[in-house]
Amino acid sequence: MSRGGPNGKRRIALASAVAAFVAAVSVGAGVATERGSDVFVLSGRAVDLDGLPVVGASVVADSAVVHTDRAGFFRVESSRPRAWLRTAHPAFLPRTRAADTATSTLVRLTPDDGATVSLTFGGDVMFGRRFLDPDEDGKVDDGQLRPGASASAHLEVLADVRGRLEDSDVTIVNLESPLVRDPVVLDDTGQEDRLGRFHPNKDLVFASSTQAAAALARAGVDIVGLGNNHMFDALDDGVAQTVDALEAAGFAAGEGHTGAGMSAEQAWVPAVTTRKGQSIAVLACTAVTGERGALSYVADDRHGGAAACDEYAIREHVARASVSNDLVVMMIHGGEEYIPEPTPEIRRLSEAARDAGAALVIDHHPHVVGGFDFDGSGLIAWTLGNLVFDQTVWPTFRSYVLTVNVRNGSIVSAYADPLLLNGYTPSGATGGLARAVAADAVARSVGPFTVDDATVFLDVAGRTQVELLSAPIVGSAERGSIYVSDGNSRLVHPVAVPGREVGRDLLGVGGFEDEETRAGRRLAALWAPSGQSELVTTDAAATGSLGARLARVAGNRADVVLTPLHRLPVDPGAELTLTGLARVPDAARATVALHWYRDTTGASEQKTETALSATDGEEWGRFLLDADVPPWAVAVGVYVRLSPPRLGSVHVDVDDLALIEWHDRCLGSCDYLRLRGHADISVVRDRLPGTSDRAPLDGPRLLGDK
User: Mind listing the pLDDT tens digit for each residue in 666-700?
Assistant: 878 889 999 888 888 888 889 999 987 667 888 88
Residue 635 has pLDDT above 70, yes or no: yes
Q: 272 φ, ψ to 5°? A: -115, 125
CA distance 122 to 125: 8
pLDDT at 61: 94
The answer to whether 364 touches 333, Cβ cutoff 8 Å, is yes
Residue 457 has pLDDT above 80, yes or no: yes
CA distance 184 to 207: 7
The confidence band for 703, taking pLDDT boundaries of 50, 70 and 90, is confident
Pairing of strands 64-67, 58-61: antiparallel
Domains of the chain, each with CATH number or no CATH: 8-109 (2.60.40.1120), 116-458 (3.60.21.10), 494-669 (2.60.120.260)
CA torsion angle 230 235 236 241 (round to 10): -70
Q: Which helix (H) or strand (E) holds 354?
A: helix 344-356
Per-residue pLDDT tens for 108-136? Answer: 999 999 999 999 999 999 999 999 988 88
Mean pLDDT value across residues 600-607: 92
Per-residue pLDDT tens for 478-497? Answer: 778 999 988 788 888 655 56
Amino acid at 463: R
Residue 534 has pLDDT above 90, yes or no: no
Specify burial of residue 58 (Cβ count, 10 A radius: 0-12, 13-18, 19+). buried
CA torsion angle 555 556 558 562 (round to 10): -140
In the Cβ-directed half-sphere of 29, how many Cα atoms lie within 13 Å? 0
pLDDT at 14: 39
Neighbours of 316 (CB within 10 A): 13
Nearest to 600 by CA among 626, 637, 650: 637
CA–CA distances in Å: residue 82 to residues 61, 417, 431: 10, 14, 10
pLDDT at 178: 97
Residue 659 has pLDDT above 70, yes or no: yes
Mean pLDDT value across residues 591-618: 94
Residue 29 has pLDDT above 50, yes or no: no
pLDDT at 252: 98
CA distance 104 to 99: 8
Residue 143 has pLDDT above 50, yes or no: yes
pLDDT at 523: 55
Pairing of strands 372-374, 379-381: antiparallel
- How high is the mean pLDDT of the chain? 89
The confidence band for 57, taking pLDDT boundaries of 50, 70 and 90, is very high
Residue 522 has pLDDT above 80, yes or no: no
Helical spans, DSSP H, in 48-206: 151-157, 162-166
Residue 242 has pLDDT above 50, yes or no: yes
Amino acid at 654: V
Q: 126 φ, ψ to 5°? A: -155, 125
pLDDT at 193: 58
The confidence band for 339, taking pLDDT boundaries of 50, 70 and 90, is very high
Q: 288 φ, ψ to 5°? A: -95, 95
Nearest to 449 by CA among 380, 431, 441, 401: 441
Beta partners for residue 416, in sequence order: 402, 456
pLDDT at 197: 87
pLDDT at 316: 98
Amino acid at 114: G
Pick the residue with more confidence: 158 or 294? 158
CA–CA distances in Å: residue 320 to residues 280, 354, 378, 695: 13, 13, 17, 53
pLDDT at 600: 86
Residue 153 has pLDDT above 90, yes or no: yes
Mean pLDDT value across residues 457-462: 96
Taking the CA atoms of 536, 538, 540 and 546 in sequence, report the sign of the dihedral they define: positive
Residues in the chain, total: 706
Terminal CA-CA length for the chain: 46
pLDDT at 696: 80
CA distance 640 to 561: 6
CA distance 483 to 111: 41
Mean pLDDT value across residues 80-109: 96
Mean pLDDT value across residues 242-246: 98
Residue 22 has pLDDT above 50, yes or no: no
Mean pLDDT value across residues 574-603: 95
> Residue 384 gets which letter from DSSP?
B
The answer to whether 386 touches 364, Cβ cutoff 8 Å, is no
pLDDT at 54: 98
The confidence band for 2, taking pLDDT boundaries of 50, 70 and 90, is very low
Q: Which helix (H) or strand (E) holds 9?
A: helix 8-23
The string of DSSP letters for 230-294 reads TTTTTHHHHHHHHHHHHHHTT--TTTTEESEESSHHHHTPPEEEEETTEEEEEEEEES---TTSS
Mean pLDDT value across residues 588-596: 97
The confidence band for 309, taking pLDDT boundaries of 50, 70 and 90, is very high
CA distance 591 to 193: 45
> Residue 32 gets which letter from DSSP?
-
Helical spans, DSSP H, in 339-425: 344-356
pLDDT at 214: 98
CA distance 612 to 225: 51
The confidence band for 194, taking pLDDT boundaries of 50, 70 and 90, is low
Pick the residue with more confidence: 25 or 40? 40
CA distance 651 to 534: 10
The answer to whether 663 touches 671, Cβ cutoff 8 Å, is no
pLDDT at 626: 95
Per-residue pLDDT tens for 550-573? Answer: 999 999 989 999 999 999 999 999
pLDDT at 323: 96
- Cα angle at 362 between 358 and 367, to 5 degrees? 165
| Three state DSSP letters for 158-200 | CHHHHHHHHCCCEEEEEECCCEECCCCCCCCCCHHHCCCCCCC
The confidence band for 640, taking pLDDT boundaries of 50, 70 and 90, is very high
Nearest to 635 by CA among 472, 443, 464, 395: 395
pLDDT at 36: 43
Nearest to 323 by CA among 284, 367, 371, 270: 270
